[in-house]
């Protein structure tokens, strides 16, 4: 395939950015989207130009690092995949592909397509833990009976990889889906009830401090989430927050 890439180039967070055109040829359909960018960068390096900066790590849909806005969609046109799992066969010869970083005040651009998502880390640090010591005590995992439905729901919430697609998809740049998934994975289990009141208040407070917007109730976050995290988690977090703030 021969393609025209329109890629956002920005020196740093304080510089003005712009879309730059990059024609690219001989792209195979079996290439992943990141492999296509590797080919582009190899060509730029050989020409003595600065390669395009983009974030990536595992390239297996696990880490969530490869977060790109592709033709206006987080992670591109497929569903339930990350950018590294997107293949070029989803595009056609002659297509123009616009590639941008995730847009949110809480995700400042570092350079080109790479953004700073440490805001998510700070939300996690505010309450994403339990006081129960499970390290080295595997027997304790079976000491408390837990309904399979609750265990499954907790596991599904814990599947969130923190890529930020929910934020990028939301017109208010809300982090409600991410935060609610991290609240839910503990709130659904007895081991997580010890800090439940403090957890939801602290994580929501940190989410607001980071500058994320309010939930739009449109469901775009769930649609674009590569792990299919459910909106039910937001409803659960709202209930947890209401109970936590009305106790006593």
In the chain, beta strands by DSSP E: 3-9, 18-24, 69-70, 73-74, 96-100, 109-111, 114-115
The CATH number for 186's domain is 1.10.1060.10
Distances (CA, A) of 49 to 7, 22, 44, 112: 14, 12, 5, 14
Distances (CA, A) of 149 to 140, 152, 189, 235: 20, 5, 11, 17
Q: Residue 247 pLDDT > 90, yes or no?
A: no
Distances (CA, A) of 223 to 158, 226, 230: 17, 8, 9
**Are residues 239 and 177 part of one domain?**
yes
pTM of structure: 0.94
Single out the residue in 111, 130, 165 at which a domain terminates. 111
What average pLDDT does the chain have?
95
For 16-27, write each residue's pLDDT tens digit.
999 999 999 999
Domain that holds residue 8: 3-111
Q: What is the number of domains present in the chain?
A: 2
For 30-79, write each residue's pLDDT tens digit.
999 999 999 999 999 999 999 999 999 999 999 999 999 999 999 999 99
**Are residues 143 and 102 part of one domain?**
no
**Are residues 241 and 121 part of one domain?**
yes
**Are residues 140 and 33 part of one domain?**
no
The residues pairing with 97 across neighbouring beta strands, listed in sequence order, are 5
**Are residues 121 and 106 part of one domain?**
no
Single out the residue in 111, 135, 166 at which a domain terminates. 111
**Are residues 133 and 24 part of one domain?**
no
Distances (CA, A) of 40 to 14, 33, 93, 197: 26, 11, 16, 50
Count other Cβ atoms within 10 Å, centred on residue 15. Answer: 11
**Are residues 86 and 139 part of one domain?**
no
**Are residues 42 and 27 part of one domain?**
yes
Q: What is the mean pLDDT of residues 119-129?
A: 96
**Are residues 129 and 105 part of one domain?**
no
Tokens matching residue 163: 């890529």
For 136-150, write each residue's pLDDT tens digit.
666 666 678 899 999
**Are residues 127 and 92 part of one domain?**
no
**Are residues 195 and 166 part of one domain?**
yes
For 162-175, write each residue's pLDDT tens digit.
999 999 999 999 99
Per-residue pLDDT, 140:
63
Per-residue pLDDT, 139:
66
Single out the residue in 72, 90, 111 at which a domain terminates. 111
The CATH number for 91's domain is 3.10.20.30
**Helix, strand, coil percentages for the chain (3-state, nearest 5):** 40, 15, 45
Residue listed under structure tokens 């950018």: 83
**Are residues 161 and 127 part of one domain?**
yes
């Amino acid at each position: 395939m021969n393609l025209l890439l329109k890629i956002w180039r920005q020196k740093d967070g304080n510089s003005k950015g712009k879309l730059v055109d990059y024609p690219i040829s001989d792209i195979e359909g079996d290439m992943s989207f990141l492999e296509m960018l590797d080919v582009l960068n190899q060509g730029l390096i050989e020409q003595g130009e600065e390669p395009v900066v983009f974030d990536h790590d595992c390239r297996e849909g696990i880490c969530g690092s490869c977060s790109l806005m592709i033709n206006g969609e987080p992670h591109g046109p497929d569903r339930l995949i990350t950018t590294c799992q997107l293949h070029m066969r989803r595009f056609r010869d002659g297509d123009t592909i616009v590639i941008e970083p995730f847009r949110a005040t809480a995700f400042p651009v570092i350079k080109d397509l790479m953004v700073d998502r440490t805001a998510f880390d700070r939300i996690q640090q505010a309450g994403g833990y339990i006081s129960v010591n499970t390290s080295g005590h595997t027997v304790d995992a079976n000491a408390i009976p837990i309904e399979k439905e609750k265990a499954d729901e907790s596991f599904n919430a814990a599947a969130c990889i923190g890529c930020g697609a929910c934020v990028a998809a939301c017109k208010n740049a809300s982090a409600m889906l991410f935060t609610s998934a991290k609240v839910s994975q503990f709130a659904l289990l007895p081991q997580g009830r010890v800090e439940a009141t403090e957890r939801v208040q602290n994580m929501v407070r940190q989410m607001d401090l980071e500058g994320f917007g309010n939930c739009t109730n449109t469901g775009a976050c769930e649609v674009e989430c590569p792990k299919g995290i459910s909106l039910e988690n937001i409803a659960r977090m709202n209930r947890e927050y209401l109970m936590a703030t009305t106790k006593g």
